Structure 1
Amino acid sequence: LNINGDFFLNGITNGAFWYHVAGGMQDWQYVNTNCLEITIEMGCYKFPQKNMLPQLWDEHKYSLLAYMEYVHRGIRGFVLDQRGHPVKNAVLSINQGKNITTTDEGEFWRILLPGRYTVLVSHRKYLPQILNITVDEGSAKLINVTLEQKLCRENTVDSIRVRGEGAVRIAVFGVDSLGKSIVQELANATCLPEDLFVEILQQSTLHLFPSMSAERALYLKVIFP
């Protein structure tokens, strides 16, 4: 390549410095699979002949194996809830580099050079955790994280559930056994709200009564004067 005017210090160049490709397979792999894809330019032959392969292998095998070994460096582990169940789509934010998300099994892995890092583990249904870790030379450090669920505001004495903090106040109460069951299901669904309830709870406050009594009627008069 030097003959054609190209010069690579120590035989290596940054791909984007050599020529820029936007939205290629390398970008897709890095963003969507946490895979570091590289292209190795071993020579000027697009399709080497069969008799050239042994020499090409001998020239590159140790570098290739050393490169592959890097997958075992950095950090790895699982994000679980308090019952030991995997938490998928938890986000791991490191003080440098891209964010990564856990798999359906709660697993994560991140190639990191030796050093000290601050890792934020977060999920919209759980309380976040901040980890200060030190990555050493050698095999990846195993880090298993247990996230605690966000607690809902409960009035356990009166079994009244309050959801949301919006200005619009809404009371829902059951008048029979079926109504009690429905209100309890609504309380469960809005404790850790899915997308259906997020916008509602941003604009309103729900007061949920599985059943009614004289005391709860007084509560209603205070909350809804």
Structure 2
Amino acid sequence: MILSLLFLSLNLSSLFRCSIARGGTLHRSDRSGYLDGSIYGHLGRRLYSENNQMSEEEYIEKLEKLAEGYMSNSDLEKAMKEFNSRCSNISRIYSIGKSVLGVPLWAVEISDLPGAKEAEPAFKFIGNVHGDEPLGRELLLLLANWLCDNYMKDPLATLIVDGVHLHILPSMNPDGFSLRRRGNANNIDLNRDFPDQFFRVNDDMDLRQPETKAIMKWLEDVDFTASASLHGGALVANYPWDGTEDTKKYYYGCPDDKTFRFLASVYSRSHYNMSLSKEFPGGITNGAYWYPIYGGMQDWNYIHCGCFELTLEISDNKWPNASEIPTLWGYNRMSMLSLVAGLVKTGLHGRIFSSDNGRPLPASVAIRGINYTIAASKTLADYHRLLAPGKYEVIASMPGYRSKSACVVLGEGAVKVDFVLDPETSYNGTQPLLDSGCDFDSKTGFQVLDFLPASQLEISMLLILILAFFCFLMKRRVRSNHLNYKQSLGARRVVV
């Protein structure tokens, strides 16, 4: 125990300031297949029950009345610019692209250093994916203003602004909103327009919608750790997978199913009444179990970008009356804040460096037993691995370097672990790491298995040997003094 504490104390000083990770790819074989029109053309998970009894003109007329009190596209742009002007110390506004009709897709970043590259996680909220589900537009502006008003006053607001780069896109589908319909100006459902893991129907980039292309380019520019899109028509937190290989309806979990259920439950439990759902136990559901969709944004985020995305159905009514917005904001506010704050308060954080020159390494981070790998960022080599509470062996690896691992026990809080990788001179590529045999009976938060560079390990062992040598000398001196004392007593007692 003493040697373990000494070993840790000698090396904790070498750990750099940790932060949260992002990036990565899922190693899955390509799937080929086809989609029939009935599957691909599925409009939504739940539509107005009276839609079948309404003509299109009657439905649009109804939505026009419901739109009263909602921000128009020009109102939304004006509100975002006013927010940025009022809260310029913690925000910046930018466009990720344009819609079919040329409407800018405005986004706002909220951070203590907006626009800067930091070893921190990035989270994105996307609203109004479907044109006739506009509640997210309103709630996301309310969220931005709440963070601005409560920064340095409320601990949760301060934690998010200081520890996360939060990006908010209130409307992905401004054309659909103005046309009062689900699809965009080309009448395409944007949540069926992304590349799919099972079917190649969306693989032609030229046929992809400009709004979809803008989202895909956005994720090339920003290493998002997690995200959520806001929808309407049900009250549930939905998680991957959204589809199945055979198009049938059943539970089909992704490699991080446990973590996604944890994240969905964070939102549901913090909501006013989502977790009380009678239709969805705990207020969460696997998408494929609800019913399969293909070309969805949530699965694409996870597979291609290392971004853990949830699809949040935040209102039973797809287009609630504007008078209900304050109430629905109250129902969802803590859920939205808790989901973003979870990037800092839970999971595994760290950075990865090279032992020979100290430079950051964009290495891969894997969890033994989970077939999913993320990558540290290319610039700062920070990584963030979202995980549910539990016991894990985390492995850092990179071609040309020796893999290293650590055993981690995640509880209610986050764990920070940096890795320092040694160049592998005798092996061409990434050396496979054998089973380390993590001892999770240990009471410590994590165990260092092969964590230190060789130079630090040699110094540590040398110090341990020196300490052992001093202990040997001290013990010998005590025994010598004790023997002399006994001999002195004997001289007094024995008469020669």
Letter in 1 for 2:416: L
Query: What SS does structure 2 have at the residue aligned with 1:42?
Result: strand
Q: Distance in 2 between matches of 1:23 and 1:99?
A: 22
1:37 equivalent to 2:271? Answer no
Is the Cα contact below 8 Å between 2:400 and 2:425 reproduced in 1? no
Q: Following TM superposition, by how much is the alpha carbon of 1:152 offset from its aligned partner in structure 2, in angstroms?
A: 4.7
- Which residue in the other structure is 2:347 paired with? 74
Q: Secondary structure at the match of 1:51?
A: helix
- The alpha-carbon deviation at position 76 of structure 1 amounts to 0.9
Alignment of 1:28-107 (within 5 A): 28-72=300-344, 73-82=346-355, 83-88=357-362, 90-97=363-370, 98-104=372-378, 105-107=380-382
Identity across the alignment (%): 31
SS in 2 for 1:46: coil
TM-score normalized with structure 2 length: 0.28
CA distance in 2, matches of 1:12, 1:152: 49
Deviation string 1:78-105 (CA, Å, 9 cap, x unpaired) is 11101110111x1111024311111102
What is the match of residue 213 of structure 1? none
Q: Do residues 128 (structure 1) and 400 (structure 2) align? A: no
Following superposition of structure 1 onto structure 2, how do residues 122-201 of structure 1 map, counting pairs within 5 Å?
122-138=397-413, 140-152=414-426
2:284 aligned residue (12, 26, 46): 12
Cα gap change, 1:45 to 1:119, in 2 (>3 Å): same
Deviating above 6 A after TM superposition, structure 1's stretches of 4 or more consecutive aligned residues are: none
Pairwise CA RMSD of aligned residues? 2.5
Cα deviation digits, residues 110-162 of structure 1 (max 9, x gap): 11122211112111110111211222212x21111000001159xxxxxxxxx
What stretches of structure 1 of length at least 5 have no aligned partner?
Answer: 154-162, 164-225
- Give the strand-richer structure, 1 or 2: 1
Q: In structure 2, how many angstroms separate the alpha carbons of the residues matched to 1:152 and 1:17?
A: 49
Number of residue pairs the alignment of both structures matches: 150
8 Å CA contact retained: 2:302, 2:308? yes
| C-alpha distance in 1 between matches for 2:418 and 2:313 | 39
Distance 1:42 1:152 in 2: 55
TM-score by structure 1 length? Answer: 0.59
The 1:145–1:114 alpha-carbon spacing in structure 2 relative to 1, beyond 3 Å, is same
Amino acid paired to 1:126: Y
Partners of 2:358 and 2:411 in 1: CA distance: 28
Q: Is 2:110 the partner of 1:110?
A: no
Query: Higher RCO, 1 or 2 (CA under 8 Å, sep at least 6)?
Result: 2
Q: Structure 2: how far apart are the matches of 1:128 and 1:146?
A: 10
How far 1:42 sits from its partner (Å)? 2.4
Tell me, in whole angstroms, the C-alpha distance in 1 between the residues paired with 2:342 and 2:293: 25
Instruction: Specify the SS of the correspondent of 1:103.
Output: coil
Separation (CA, whole Å) in 2 of partners of 1:136 and 1:32: 29
- What is the SS of the residue equivalent to 1:60? helix
Code of the aligned partner of 1:75: L
- Over residues 156-177 of structure 1, what are the superposed CA-to-partner deviations in whole Å (9 max), with x where a residue is unaligned? xxxxxxx9xxxxxxxxxxxxxx
Question: Match of 2:382, as an amino acid?
Answer: E
Structure 1 residues 10, 148: CA separation in 2 closer, same or farther (over 3 Å shift)?
A: closer
Tell me the amino acid that sits aligned with residue 348 of structure 2: I
Structure 2 residue matching 1:7: 3-state secondary structure: coil
Instruction: Name structure 2 gaps, 5 residues minimum.
Output: 1-45, 50-277, 429-496
